[in-house]
A and B are shown apart, each in its own frame.
Chain A
Amino acid sequence: MELLEVKGLKKYFPVKGGFLSKTVNYVKAVDGVSFNVKQGKTLGLVGESGCGKSTTGRTILRLYEPTEGAIYFEGIDIVTLDKEKLRAKRKDMQIIFQDPYASLNPRLTAGEIIGRAIDIHNIARGKERQRRILQLLDVVGLKREHYNRYPNEFSGGQRQRIGIARALAVNPKLIVCDEPISALDVSIQAQIINLLKDIQEQFHLTYVFIAHNLAVVKHISDDVAVMYLGKIVEMAEKDELFLRPQHPYTAALLSAIPIPDPSKKHSRIRLEGDVPSPINLPPGCRFATRCPERTSICDEVEPDLIDIGGHMVACHHRR
């Protein structure tokens, strides 16, 4: 069953300029993204910085208002929900952030942070509320005595655990993980990944997992979508994508993964040039300026994301 269906999602940020701060242009951060996530599965969203993956994640939760498109959550288009209905629906969709130092209110203790999440949706009261907070601390691997501590008394990994507990507090169905491990020490990354996997199983969660580390995405995802400049260029089941990358951009990304074997020869595809500005996009294929397989059609026609047999790809040369 599809828990989340995103159709033609666009998010443009206005660029203000001039005397009366008129909108002179738009940053097309997300420019027509569509994907589905099945109940209990994980979609990995990868791409380099600035490709719009975090914006996509936040727009799904309507932390940013989408410019265009539909977001079906359990069949209901949440873009059309009014403020009150959306507030009630927010219980089902949560987010875990990248920076554990910015994602916790420094004036609240761990217990207050989790308790506030419980209070907003009136999930439990009194003794039951207390029991639930302690249980959540336990689930994410923190101790009872952490209840009264402030965020500045925790390490990065522990803070991230509090962030996870806060997200879990409202019994969500979907969690958007916005690069949840990128800011952590390598030794802590594995712990948090395993914790995320454990709670997914325990609470039947569905993840949209945003990352730029391909090895991590390979470990946790069921399906993977590769984003470039606000669009999905390739999307497939994890093993299929890693074994048979179709899009030249995916191939280049995968070749950048280091192989932990010094005797193996490593052939790396080096991309030339810079990513074009998302304000001023090239007319044809967005990747054409850096593509080793570029031909004349690439500069003229923008390729659609087309299914070529269990594998979606947006490239003129993979048809």
Chain B
Amino acid sequence: MPLSTQGYRISEAKMMTETGEITIRTDEKYRRKSPFVDLWKHLKRNKLAVTGLAIVTVFIIVAIFAPVLAPYDPYKQDLTIRLLPPGSPGHLLGTDEYGRDMLSRLIYGARLSLLVGFSSVGFGLAFGVILGLLAGYYSTLDSIIMRIVDILLAFPGVLLALAIVSALGPGIANVIIAVGVWSIPTISRVVRGTVLYIKEMDYIAAAKALGETDFMILFKEILPNCVSSIVVYATMRLATAILSAATLSFLGLGAQPPAAEWGAMASTGRNYIFQAPYLTLLPGFAIILVVFGFNSLGDGLRDALDPNLKNAL
């Protein structure tokens, strides 16, 4: 018989024993729940975040199943059907200057963007999280690490990535490194800030009093409490990484033609901007959509993971 008290269900089970009937009640609120169930509960109230999640999901599915979804080979040229406008029979989004199917190229472009986004953010996280943990925890290392980070931060935006790619030479792998390096300073700042706050908590003092080593305190006490801010920041950072990779490709420093990369596609499409503006607009629109998706998802995650808001709701 389900009862309802104070908003959570109490289920009862009756059992017969020799001494008579006993009732066992389980308070469902106290069953261990997956953290994802909880997260989704908060996230779904935020329409923008759900939209973001939908866009990101579609983007990832498209990227993974590109060979299945793409109607044509994105690199197959057919000069007899050059510059078909969108809506042409057989080529939903038209063809480019070499007669390659735009839809297929956009679908394959999602692959490259996903690859660059995830690997560069992964690269940035690997270094940024460690540096942030060390800087936040050891005050002696703090000023050294943070001064280096300040130097990296002093470079305006893409300029740092541009400098790195120019030094290493153009190509996707170097773009990943460049965008990754560019992510390190901000990621380490975010992690350091969280560590500075957490290391003053009494449970860290308790861990010290119990004799936990610095390594255990950093990775078993502090890091798990940084995860939510890292997840939020990494999600937003994915948007920036995809955008800057596209920028570098647009400038001719990233993916090289004929690669189906959104930035590179927009770049080559520029030459036909008056005859076939969709060559530039479609990849641009794809970039906007994905960046918007990751940003709104990150915003929503930040709100959903905020422990203070969580209790208030």
- B16: interface (CB < 8 Å): no
**B228 to chain A: closest residue by CB:** A107
Chain A nearest CB, measured from B150 CB (Å): 16
Chain B residues near A95: list those with CB within 8 A. Answer: 205-206, 209
B199-227 vs A, CB cutoff 8 Å, 1 = contact: the mask equals: 00111011111111100100011001100
- Pair A58/B307 contact, Cβ less than 8 Å: no
Chain A nearest CB, measured from B41 CB (Å): 15
- Pair B206/A87 contact, Cβ less than 8 Å: no
- B274: interface (CB < 8 Å): no
Chain B residues near A166: list those with CB within 8 A. Answer: 206, 210
- B36: interface (CB < 8 Å): no
- B32: interface (CB < 8 Å): yes
Most chain A beta-carbon neighbours within 10 Å: one of B203, B207, B209: B209
Chain A nearest CB, measured from B220 CB (Å): 8
**Interchain CB contact (< 8 A) of B205 among A63, A87, A91, A116:** A63
- A103: interface (CB < 8 Å): yes
- Pair A106/B307 contact, Cβ less than 8 Å: yes
**Interchain CB contact (< 8 A) of A93 among B203, B206, B209:** B209
Chain B nearest CB, measured from A55 CB (Å): 12
- Pair B30/A120 contact, Cβ less than 8 Å: no
**Measured between alpha carbons, how far is A87 from B213 in the docked complex, in Å?**
8
- Pair B202/A99 contact, Cβ less than 8 Å: yes
A164-195 vs B, CB cutoff 8 Å, 1 = contact: the mask equals: 00100010000000000000000000000000
Given contacts A105-B225, A107-B224, A149-B30, contact A90 B205 (CB under 8 A): no
**Interchain CB contact (< 8 A) of A103 among B203, B208, B210, B213:** B203
**Measured between alpha carbons, how far is A105 from B220 in the docked complex, in Å?**
10
- Pair B30/A153 contact, Cβ less than 8 Å: yes
- Pair A104/B209 contact, Cβ less than 8 Å: no
In this complex, the interface size class of chain A, counting residues with CB under 8 Å from chain B, is 20 to 34
Chain A residues near B30: list those with CB within 8 A. Answer: 145, 149, 153
Chain B residues near A91: list those with CB within 8 A. Answer: 211
- A24: interface (CB < 8 Å): no
Given contacts A149-B30, A153-B30, contact A121 B211 (CB under 8 A): yes
A83-101 vs B, CB cutoff 8 Å, 1 = contact: the mask equals: 0001110110111011100
- Pair A120/B206 contact, Cβ less than 8 Å: no
Chain A residues near B213: list those with CB within 8 A. Answer: 87
- Pair A105/B221 contact, Cβ less than 8 Å: yes
**Measured between alpha carbons, how far is A116 from B210 in the docked complex, in Å?**
9
**Measured between alpha carbons, how far is A103 from B200 in the docked complex, in Å?**
10
Chain B nearest CB, measured from A286 CB (Å): 28
**Interchain CB contact (< 8 A) of A105 among B203, B209, B211:** B203
**Interchain CB contact (< 8 A) of A163 among B206, B212, B220, B307:** B206
Chain B residues near A153: list those with CB within 8 A. Answer: 29-30
A145-161 vs B, CB cutoff 8 Å, 1 = contact: the mask equals: 10011001100000000
Chain A nearest CB, measured from B218 CB (Å): 13
- A211: interface (CB < 8 Å): no
- Pair A97/B202 contact, Cβ less than 8 Å: yes
Most chain A beta-carbon neighbours within 10 Å: one of B32, B201, B211, B225: B211
**A163 to chain B: closest residue by CB:** B206
**Measured between alpha carbons, how far is A97 from B221 in the docked complex, in Å?**
17
8 Å CB contacts to B: which residues of A202-239? none
**A118 to chain B: closest residue by CB:** B210
**Interchain CB contact (< 8 A) of B210 among A99, A120, A152:** A120
Chain A nearest CB, measured from B215 CB (Å): 12
Given contacts A58-B205, A97-B202, A149-B30, contact A106 B210 (CB under 8 A): no
**Measured between alpha carbons, how far is A86 from B206 in the docked complex, in Å?**
15
- A259: interface (CB < 8 Å): no
B40-72 vs A, CB cutoff 8 Å, 1 = contact: the mask equals: 000000000000000000000000000000000
Given contacts A102-B201, A105-B203, contact A63 B221 (CB under 8 A): no
- A253: interface (CB < 8 Å): no
Given contacts A105-B225, A106-B307, A153-B30, contact A87 B211 (CB under 8 A): yes
Chain A nearest CB, measured from B217 CB (Å): 10
- A70: interface (CB < 8 Å): no
**Measured between alpha carbons, how far is A95 from B211 in the docked complex, in Å?**
12
- A78: interface (CB < 8 Å): no
- Pair B208/A63 contact, Cβ less than 8 Å: yes
**A21 to chain B: closest residue by CB:** B143
Given contacts A106-B307, A107-B224, contact A97 B210 (CB under 8 A): no
- Pair A170/B205 contact, Cβ less than 8 Å: no
Chain B residues near A61: list those with CB within 8 A. Answer: 209
**Interchain CB contact (< 8 A) of B212 among A58, A86, A120:** A120
**B203 to chain A: closest residue by CB:** A105
8 Å CB contacts to B: which residues of A102-117? 102-107, 109, 116-117
Most chain A beta-carbon neighbours within 10 Å: one of B29, B202, B307, B311: B202
A125-155 vs B, CB cutoff 8 Å, 1 = contact: the mask equals: 0000000000000000000010011001100
Q: Which residues of B contact A (CB under 8 A)?
A: 29-30, 32, 201-203, 205-213, 216, 220-221, 224-225, 307, 311
A95-B206, A106-B225, A121-B210 are known; give 6 further A-B pairs, CB within 8 A.
Answer: A58-B205, A63-B208, A95-B205, A107-B224, A117-B210, A148-B32
The 8 closest A-B pairs by CB, nearest first: A90-B211, A103-B202, A87-B211, A97-B202, A107-B224, A102-B202, A105-B203, A95-B209
Task: Name 9 interchain pairs, CB-CB below 8 A, sorted by A.
Answer: A61-B209, A63-B208, A97-B205, A102-B203, A103-B202, A105-B203, A105-B224, A120-B210, A120-B211
